[in-house]
Structure 1
Amino acid sequence: MAVILRYVDNKSQVIERFMGVQYVIETTSSKLKESIDEFLKLHDLSYSNLRGQGYDGTSNMRALVALAKKNSDIGAFFTMTNSLVNVVGCSCKRRDALRDKQQENLMKAIENDCLETGQGLNQEISLKRAGDTRWNSHYDALISLITTFSSVVDMFDMIVEDCYNDSAELDDCFAEGNTELLICLARLSPNDSFVAFDKEKLVFLAQMYPKDFTDQDRSALQDQLDIYIHFVCSDNDFSQLRGINELAKKMVDKGLHRTFAYVYLLV
C-alpha cells in the first residue's frame, strides 16, 4: 500500500508528498487501518490531525501514479523499465532466451551454494509491466526486474550483438548490390558519345528488375540495344548530351521512348 499525505503549509499552499510503501497482508478495511496506524506511528504522526482519508480504489491508484509521474526521476525510471520489458518481451525468441538464461544463472547459483533452495523457492519469474491503475504493479515490476536483472543484462548483450551482426550483414549486402547497380546504370550515360555503353551490363541491369523485365523482355532488350546504340551514335542530336536525365528527355522529344521502349524502361 502506498501512503501519500496532503497538507497545507504555512503559505496556505496544498502540498502532496509520497511518504512510502507499506506492506499489507490483506486489503480489507481493518487490515489497511492497522497498516496506516503503524505507518503514522513510525513517522510520529497522529490521527488527531487527520482530516480525511481515501484508499482501495482505482481512482486513488490513478491519482497515486499521476503524482509519481510528476517526479521526473520516478517517471523516467518507470518509463525506462516499461521500455526494457517491451524490448525483451517483443518476441517469443527473446522471451525464451531470457527464460533459458535465467534458468542457466539459477543453476549456477545453486551449484555454488549462493542461493537458498526449498519448496516454493526460486520459481520462474518473467518481467512485468508497471500499470497505470495499480500501484502494486509497480512493485511487481521492480521485483521481477531485480530478480532477473543479471539475465536481462545478458539478454541485452545478445540483442546488441544480434543487431550489430544484422546491421553489418545488411550493410554488406546493400553496399554490394548498390555498387553493382550504379556500375550498370553508368553504362547508359550518353557522355562522350556513349563511350561507357556496355550491352552485357545493361542486360544484367534488367535482370535486377524481374517484375519489369520478363525473360522474353530481356531477349527483346538485347536486340533493341544493338539498334539503339547504332542510332544514337550516328545522330548529332545525341552527341552533346550530358547525363541520363538529358538522354531521357531527348528520347521523349524524338519519340524514341516508344521505338526503344525496353531501353527507355531502363532509363
Structure 2
Amino acid sequence: MRGELNGLRTLISRESRSAYYVHCFAHQLQLVVVAVAKKHFEVGDFFDKVSVLVNVSIASCKRKDMMREIQRDEIEKGISNGEIKTGKGLNQEASLQRPGSTRWGSHYKTLLRLVELFSSVIKVLEYVQDEGLDNTHRSQANGLLKYIHTFDFVFYLHLMLVILGLTENLSMALQRKDQDILNVVSLVKSTKRQLQKLRDDGWDSFVKKVLYFCEKHNTEILNMENDFIDPRKPRKKTSITNLHHYQVNCFYTVLDMQLQEFNDRFNEVNSELLVCTSALSPIDSFREFDKEKLLRLVEFYPEDFSCVESVSLEHQLDIYIDNVRGDEMFADLRNLGDLARVMVETRKHISHPLVYRLLKLALTLLVATATVERCFSGMKIVKTVLRNRIGDQFLSDCLLLYRKSLFDDVTNETVIKRFQVMSERRIHL
C-alpha cells in the first residue's frame, strides 16, 4: 500500500496531486513499536523469548493452577509480613497473557504481568525443567531459566515496559470510536515529547529500577565500568564498557528508532491536514470552526481551487458560519456526513458552493482512527471462504447485523412482527 515506487498510494498520487494517504493512527502506532522489534536484534530476540516463555508457563491447566497457587501463597505471606496492603480491588488473581501482533496493547499487558509474576514464573519453569514429561518443554524451560536471570533480559524487559507504557495511553485513545482528531494529534505530539524526555534525562532513574529488580530477584548484576563482553563473540574484545553498550547501543538506539518511526509515520503533512479538516466539524454549534485553518486546507488542493476561488472562499466562509449557526437544522449534527446531507436538504450547497466543495474533499479522507480497522475486521468475520460469492446487498445487511450497537433499541417483538408481515407463514410467530 505504502510502496514508494509501485505501491497503491504512489500510483494514485501520480494521477492526482490532491490525493493524500492517511493511515489509521492506531495501526501506525502498532507499526512504530513492531518496527523497533524487527530492526533491533536484541529487542526482537527478547520478544521471541517472551512468547516462548508464556507458551511454556501456561501450556497446560496444571501449570496455570500451579502459578495461581504460588501467587496466592506469596500474597498471603506478604500480607502476614505487612509488605502487602489489603483492600477492595487489591491482590486480584492474575495470569500471563499471550501477546498478539493484531491485539494492540497486548504486549504491554504481558510485560506487566511478567514483572508481577516473575517469582511464580521462575518456580513454574523450574518445575517444568525437573518434572516435565515433554523433552522439548524441558529443554525450553532450561534455556529460559538461564535467559531470564541475565542482565539483558531484565534490561530489555524494563526498557520495553517504559516505552509501551508511554504509548499505551495514546493507543487506547486512538482506538476510541468517538475520538477527536485534534486530541489525537495533540496526544501524538505529547507522546513524542515524553519519549524525547526519557531519552535525554531518563537514563539514571531507569538504571536504578533495573538494578533494584535484579537485586530483588537475585538475577545477574553487571558492573557498568567493566569491559562489555558480546555473548555472540565472547573471546573478541569489544573495547567498550558495559555502560557505553547499554546506554548508547541499547537505550539511546532503541529510543532514537522509536522517535524516528514516529516522525516517519505521523508526519506533519497528514497531521496538519487532519487538524485543518476538523475546523469543518459541526459539533457543538461549529465550536471548532477556524477560518484560517480552512483557508490553509484549500492550499492542500491547488487543482480544485483557483486563486480567484480561494479569495472568494475567504469571504464566503464568514457568511456561511453565520448562516448555519442561526439555522436550527444544523443544531444537533454529529459529523461531516450529517453536515453534507443537511446542506443538500436545505439547498445551502447552492448558496455556499465553495464551502460545499471543500466539505466534499474532506469527506474523501479516511477516518484516521481504529474505526476503519474495525470495519475490515468485521468484514473478514462476515465474509468467510464459505461466503465467497456473497452479494453486495447481503454483505451490507450482514455487516449491519454485526454492529450490535445499532439494534440496542430494537425489541424482539418488532423483529417478529416485521418478519411475520413479509409473507404468509404456516404458523403464527
Greater percentage in strand: 1
Structure possessing the higher radius of gyration over alpha carbons? 1
TM-score tier by shorter-chain length is 0.3 to 0.5
Determine which structure has greater relative contact order: mean sequence separation of CA pairs < 8 Å that are 6+ residues apart, divided by chain length. Answer: 2
